[in-house]
Chains A and B, each alone.
Chain A
Amino acid sequence: MGCFHSKSPKHTPGYEEPVILAAETLFSVSEVEALYELYKKISSSITDDGLIHKEEFQLALFRNRNKRNLFADRVFDIFDYKRNGVIEFGEFVRSLGIFHPNASVADKVSFAFRVYDLRSTGFIEREELREMVLALLHESDVVLSEEYIEMIVNKTFDDADKKGDGKIDLDEWKEFVSQNPSLIKNMTLPYLKDITLAFPSFVVRSEVEDSDL
Chain B
Amino acid sequence: PFYNAFEFISSMSSGFDLSNLFESG
**Bound state CA distance, A152 and B18, in angstroms?**
26
**Bound state CA distance, A99 and B10, in angstroms?**
14
Q: Across the interface, do B20 and A41 meet the contact criterion of CB distance under 8 Å? A: no
**Bound state CA distance, A70 and B4, in angstroms?**
19
Q: Which residues of A lie under 8 Å from residue B16 when comparing CB positions?
A: 71-72, 75, 115, 186
Query: Any chain B CB within 8 A of the CB of A116?
Result: yes
What 0/1 readout, one digit per residue, does chain A (60-72) give for beta carbons within 8 Å of chain B? 1110000001111
Q: Which residues of B lie under 8 Å from residue A69 when comparing CB positions?
A: 13-15
Chain A: interface residue total (CB-CB under 8 A)? 48
Q: A4: shortest Cβ distance to chain B, in Å?
A: 35
- Cross-chain contact of B14 among A42, A61, A191 (Cβ < 8 A): A61
- Cross-chain contact of B20 among A60, A96, A159, A180 (Cβ < 8 A): A60
Q: Which residues of A lie under 8 Å from residue B3 when comparing CB positions?
A: 151-152, 155-156
Please judge, given known A-B contacts A129-B5, A133-B8, A136-B8, whether A189 and B14 are in contact too, CB under 8 Å. no
With most chain A CB atoms within 10 A of its CB, the pick from B2, B16, B17 is B16
Please judge, given known A-B contacts A136-B12, A139-B13, A139-B15, whether A199 and B4 are in contact too, CB under 8 Å. no
Q: Across the interface, do B15 and A159 meet the contact criterion of CB distance under 8 Å? A: no
Using A38-B25, A60-B21, A71-B15 as known contacts, list a sample of 14 further A-B pairs with CB atoms less than 8 Å apart, ordered by residue number in A. A41-B24, A75-B15, A115-B16, A116-B9, A133-B8, A133-B9, A139-B12, A142-B12, A151-B3, A155-B5, A160-B6, A183-B7, A185-B10, A199-B25
Residue ranges of A at the interface with B (Cβ–Cβ < 8 Å): 37-38, 41-42, 45, 60-62, 69-75, 96, 99, 112, 115-116, 129, 132-133, 136, 139-140, 142, 151-153, 155-156, 159-160, 176, 180, 182-186, 189, 191, 195, 198-199, 201-202
Residue ranges of B at the interface with A (Cβ–Cβ < 8 Å): 2-22, 24-25
Query: Which 7 interchain pairs have the tightest Cβ spacing?
Result: A71-B15, A72-B15, A69-B15, A156-B5, A71-B16, A71-B13, A60-B24
